[in-house]
Amino acid sequence: MAARFQRLTVAALRRTTADSVVVAFDAPASFRSFTPGQYLTLRATIDGRDVRRCYSICSAPGDGTLRVGIKHLPGGLFSSWANTVPREGDTIQVMRPEGRFGVAIDPAASRVFAAFAAGSGITPILSIMTTVLTREPGSRFSLFFGNRATRDIMFRDEIEDLKDRFLSRLSVFHVLSRERQELDILNGHLDPEKIPALTRLMPPPDHVFVCGPQGMIEGLEPALAAAGVPRERIHVERFTPSSDAPRPPVVVPEGVPPAAMATLIIDGARLEVPMAEGETIVDAAVRAGRDPPFSCRAGMCCTCRARLVEGRVAMATNYSLEPWETEAGYVLTCQARPLTALVVVDYDQV
Q: Give the H or E element holding residue 135.
A: helix 122-135
Class (C level, CATH) for 260-346: alpha beta
Q: In sequence order, what are the residues at sequence separation of 6 or more whose Cβ sits closer than 8 angstroms to the Cβ of residue 73? A: 79, 80, 242
pLDDT, tens only, 58-102: 999 988 899 999 999 888 899 999 999 999 999 999 999 999 899
Q: In sequence order, what are the residues at sequence separation of 6 or more whose Cβ sits closer than 8 angstroms to the Cβ of residue 245? A: none
| Cα atoms in the 13 Å half-sphere on the side-chain side of 35 | 9
Residue 330, strand partner residues: 307
Do 93 and 42 form a contact (C-beta atoms < 8 A)?
yes
Domain definitions of the chain by residue range: 5-95, 112-238, 260-346
* Average pLDDT score over the chain: 93
CA–CA gap between residue 12 and residue 22 (Å, rounded): 8
Confidence bin at 256 (pLDDT 50/70/90): confident
Q: Report the 10 Å Cβ neighbour count for 149.
A: 12
pLDDT, tens only, 203-228: 999 999 999 988 899 999 999 999 99
Cα pseudo-dihedral 292, 237, 61, 334, rounded to 10? 0
Collapsed DSSP state (helix, strand, coil) of residue 275: strand
CA–CA gap between residue 185 and residue 227 (Å, rounded): 16
pLDDT at 44: 96
Class (C level, CATH) for 112-238: alpha beta
Would the CATH topology of 5-95 be identical to that of 260-346?
no
pLDDT, tens only, 304-327: 999 999 999 999 999 889 889 999
Angle at 163 between CA 178 and CA 183, to 5 degrees: 35
Closest by Cα among 77, 130, 135 to 106 = 135
Confidence bin at 182 (pLDDT 50/70/90): very high
**Following DSSP, what letter does each residue of 162-174 receive, concatenated?**
HHHHTTTTEEEEE
Higher pLDDT, 74 or 16: 16
The CATH topology of domain 5-95 is: Elongation Factor Tu (Ef-tu); domain 3 (2.40.30)
- Single pTM value for the model: 0.89
| Cα atoms in the 13 Å half-sphere on the side-chain side of 346 | 11
Give 335's DSSP letter. T
Give the rounded percent of residues in the chain with a pLDDT score beyond 90: 83
Q: Report the 10 Å Cβ neighbour count for 100.
A: 15
Give the rounded percent of residues in the chain with a pLDDT score beyond 70: 95
**pLDDT of residue 242 exceeding 50:** no
